[in-house]
Structure 1
């Protein structure tokens, strides 16, 4: 299992909430950050998750694909943020 998904599940985040989070990520990455903050995950675990993402950015792609979502939307959102 993807380590990002494992951390979320470890904190009793439901599959529906995880899917919603990653759906939001594919549509609006900034909104996804706000959603993550509302999940009640302890700060140290959020830092661990962010460190994983920073060290291995492909984990986001792997998680999105594992959830059956369209990664091209993540790329489009990222490009929009960089403009």
Structure 2
């Protein structure tokens, strides 16, 4: 299992919440940060999660694909942020 998904599940984040988080990520990455903060993940685990993403951004793509979402939407959203 993807380490991002594993950390979320470790903190009893439901599959529905995980799917909603990654759906938000594919549509609006900035809003995804707000969703993450509402999940109630302890600060130390949240830092661990962010560290994983910073060290290996490909984990996001793996998680998105594991959830059956369209990663090209993440790329589109990222391109919009750069404009």
Q: Secondary structure at the match of 2:12?
A: coil
* 2:1 equivalent to 1:4: no
Unaligned residue ranges in structure 2 (runs of 5+): none
* CA RMSD across the alignment: 0.3
User: Which consecutive segments of 4 or more residues in structure 1 shift more than 2 A?
Assistant: none
Equivalent-residue separation in structure 1 for 2:82 and 2:57 (angstroms): 16
Equivalent-residue separation in structure 2 for 1:8 and 1:59 (angstroms): 13
Q: Tell me the alpha carbon deviations over residues 41-83 of structure 1, each in whole angstroms, 9 at most, x when there is no partner.
A: 0000000000000000000000000000000000000000011
